Amino acid sequence: MATANQPGTTYRATFERASDDPAAFWLEQAQTLDWHTAPTRGLDYDGAASWKWFPDGQLNITYQALDRWVQAGRGDQPALVWDSAMTDQQVTYTYAELLDKVARFAGALRANGVTRGDRVLIYMPMIPEALIAMLAVARIGAIHVVTFGGFAPREVATRLDDAQAKAVIAANGGIEPSRTIRYLPNVAEAIELAEHKPEVVLVKQRPEIDDTIADFDTTWLDFDEQLADNGPVEALPVAATDPLYLLHTSGTTSKPKAVIRDHGGYAVAAAWSVPNIYNVHPGEVMFVASDVGWVVGHTYIVYAPLVSGATTVVYEGKPVGTPDAGAFWRVASEHGAKMIFSAPTAYRAIRAADPTGEHWQRYDMSALETVFSAGERLDEDTYHWLEKVTGKPVVDHWWQTETGWPIVANLRGLDPMPLKPGSPSVPVPGYRVSVVNPLGEPVATGSEGNIVVELPLPPGAMVGLYGEPERFHSSYMAAFPGYYETGDTGYIDEDGYVFVLGRSDDVINVAGHRLSTGTLEAVIAEHPAVAETAVIGVADELKGQKPVAYVVLTADADLSAEQLAKELVAKVRHDFGPVAAFQNVDVVSALPKTRSGKILRRTMRSIVEGDEVATPATIDDPGVLDSFAQQATRWDS
Ligand code: COA
Ligand code: AMP
């Protein structure tokens, strides 16, 4: 019999309240914010695939993130600490300073014709100006579209066209350990490639990077001059349901999906999750080692810490090599972080460089309470290593670009429960998670199936795909009516713990970055020597998975396999971006397919990873499978 003190009791009661009456539960949580017009209704839901959180509320998320903390007397508290291992600098912005910069840059955007509802593409590295740009766009009710710096011009162009962006905000460059990335030629090329041309480009010229504004057709303005020359503007109250940002993510086709996030639901989810999941409270410090280009960065580097009155650490550097494998521990220690959060691949990189955790011993880590992980499954080896080296609770949690915040977690602030290696723990209140078979029927406890979430999704999760309502429905709601299909498979054990095993679609996860094999295939298939190709994700010890391309040559192809690999690697870097970490090409005589012509990627993966493979019943030609098995390289992980 559970008592009030047993772990899980508070969690279960909260989970049930959020499940039984989501509208009432979230309306109650919304009271913690300072609304311009407080909502009277929690939720409008049509019973199918459309829902609106706080439909009659009005606010601006940047008012929640900045103004209200200054008004509450936190103006002198650090809001943002920038720690650049790449340039050896640390800069702190208090809430008052950050508000001033954001309000002025919002003024600059407005002076340049950007208004409510306009889309603004942001292409910047991990510098404070990236956050200032995002918050300034949101402050005037415009919509930001952040594009990760590791994407090539063609991917930037796709997003420019998709969002029909009115303006671009960029930096002149980013600094990677191996080289300086000049962003301006990429922006110029992207604008040339895009059909839709932005009206203006605002450029943060980093003094460390010797690259000035390019001579180009579009109007280019200097970020700092614009900031200095324009007066501050107030946060524009918008409908809680107004879009705050679009964030593109990989789907199964080559065209990325633009997830839409709103102002109101996102602000409420952000404000709820920081104390309840991360156990962080106003005045405490969060160190989330990701990038503003990803969802983790949007939510837990930018919006959630600030909406919660915490301090966010913005780190420009790597887990290893900048200068050593103690970089994360140094940053956490120097800034007094209460939590650290990164991807398993980063922790594996630290482990490979410092297996005994010597660097951890060099720092005072007493302020750090918890080590969080997400982005891919936290393998048990890495979990145990982290636990041993840090002596802190190591908390895996599972989520997606689509959901914007964790679906499954161990709620460290609400009711910490026992941790089980291999599981991100239990469904977060608001997410009614189940596991179903292909017919949509619940599977038995402990049996693997598709992980689904009952609709409607909670506040903070996506509310649509930009310009593609049909795709929103067909991608996520059509397979299991009444449920959101996560695309992940897994099982739930007898204690209600969820285990996430992998994707059921053609999405792969390379170093915590979600990539579409379809996009890579489209780039590779353009090479004149390639008749056909399939890209699959193969296990990799450091990055989790690495993309490998299996290529069938055209009859008249006249180049060696080595030359082809060299050209394809260069092409993927140029057309998609270095972030794909694409290095492996294998030439085969044919690709195994079903009778309806679908490439058997899962079977191919099993073969190259050396698993037992039964010939699929749907196979077109078993001989092709045999020859593939003989020809394909077994990649070392
Ligand atoms: N701008 C431009 N290029 C970038 C970039 C950026 N913001 N980020 C990465 N790249 C480039 C890198 O320079 C590298 O190029 P190279 O092939 O010329 O060396 C390539 O993209 C691959 O980068 P990365 O995946 O970072 O690999 P790495 O070998 O340099 O580092 C890790 C390996 C594990 C240290 C790194 O992947 C890492 O820190 N991952 C954490 C991922 C993460 O935070 N994910 C977010 C989810 S929580
Ligand atoms: P992204 O949308 O880029 O955040 O990627 C989301 C995908 O990453 C999920 O659908 C999972 O496949 C994977 N993922 C993220 N976090 C975890 C985790 N904690 N455990 C297992 N897989 C994860």
**CATH number for 524:** 3.30.300.30
* 547 lies in the same domain as 408: no
pTM for the model: 0.95
- What confidence score (pLDDT) does residue 74 get? 98
* 56 lies in the same domain as 132: yes
Res. 1 pLDDT band, cuts 50 70 90? very low
- Is 590 inside a domain boundary? yes
* 471 lies in the same domain as 515: no
- What confidence score (pLDDT) does residue 250 get? 86
* 415 lies in the same domain as 540: no
Domain containing 208 equals 9-317+397-491
* 449 lies in the same domain as 545: no
* 55 lies in the same domain as 100: yes
Identify which has the larger pLDDT, 567 or 618: 567
* 477 lies in the same domain as 517: no
Q: Decide if 156 contacts 123 (C-beta within 8 A).
A: yes
**Gap between the Cα atoms of 147 and 154, Å rounded:** 12
- Is 373 inside a domain boundary? no
- What confidence score (pLDDT) does residue 357 get? 97
- What confidence score (pLDDT) does residue 637 get? 55
* Window from 7-16, 140-149, 251-260, 457-466 with minimum mean pLDDT: 251-260
* 449 lies in the same domain as 532: no
Averaged over 304-324, what is the pLDDT?
Answer: 98
Domain count along the chain: 2
Ligand approaching nearest to the C-alpha of 341 = 1
Rg (CA), the chain: 24
pLDDT at 254 > cutoff 50: yes
| 592-631 CB burial, b ≥16 within 10 A, e <16 | bbeeeeebbbebbbbbbeeeebeeeeebbeeebbeebeee
Ligand approaching nearest to the C-alpha of 179 = 1
What is residue 303's DSSP assignment?
I
- Is 352 inside a domain boundary? no
- Which residues make beta-bridge pairs with 593? 599
Question: For atom 44 of ligand 1, which residue has the closest CA?
Answer: 290
**Ligand 2 atom at minimum distance from 502 CA:** 12
- Tokens 């970020």: give the residue: 223
Taking the centre of ligand 1 as the mean of its atom positions, its distance from the CA of residue 175, in whole angstroms, is 11
Taking the centre of ligand 2 as the mean of its atom positions, its distance from the CA of residue 400, in whole angstroms, is 5
Q: Over the stretch 399-409, which tens digit does the pLDDT of each residue have?
A: 999 999 999 99
Averaged over 390-400, what is the pLDDT?
Answer: 98
**Ligand 1 atom at minimum distance from 125 CA:** 7
- What confidence score (pLDDT) does residue 43 get? 98
**Gap between the Cα atoms of 407 and 397, Å rounded:** 8
Which of 421, 413, 415 has its CA nearest to residue 386?
Answer: 421
Q: DSSP of 364-385, one letter per residue?
A: --TT--EEEE-SS---HHHHHH
Q: Over the stretch 186-199, which tens digit does the pLDDT of each residue have?
A: 999 999 999 999 99
We report the CATH number of the domain holding residue 175 as: 3.40.50.12780
* 82 lies in the same domain as 212: yes
* 22 lies in the same domain as 105: yes
pLDDT at 3 > cutoff 90: no
* 457 lies in the same domain as 519: no
pLDDT at 57 > cutoff 90: yes
- Is 449 inside a domain boundary? yes
Report the chain's mean pLDDT, rounded to a whole number: 95
- Give ∠ CA 280-282-287 in degrees, rounded to 5: 50
- Is 363 inside a domain boundary? no
Question: For atom 4 of ligand 2, which residue has the closest CA?
Answer: 400
- Is 296 inside a domain boundary? yes
Res. 2 pLDDT band, cuts 50 70 90? very low
Averaged over 282-290, what is the pLDDT?
Answer: 98
* 611 lies in the same domain as 569: yes
**Gap between the Cα atoms of 477 and 485, Å rounded:** 6
Q: Is 31 exposed, middle or buried (0-12, 13-18, 19+ CB in 10 A)?
A: exposed
- Is 406 inside a domain boundary? yes
Question: For atom 16 of ligand 2, which residue has the closest CA?
Answer: 375
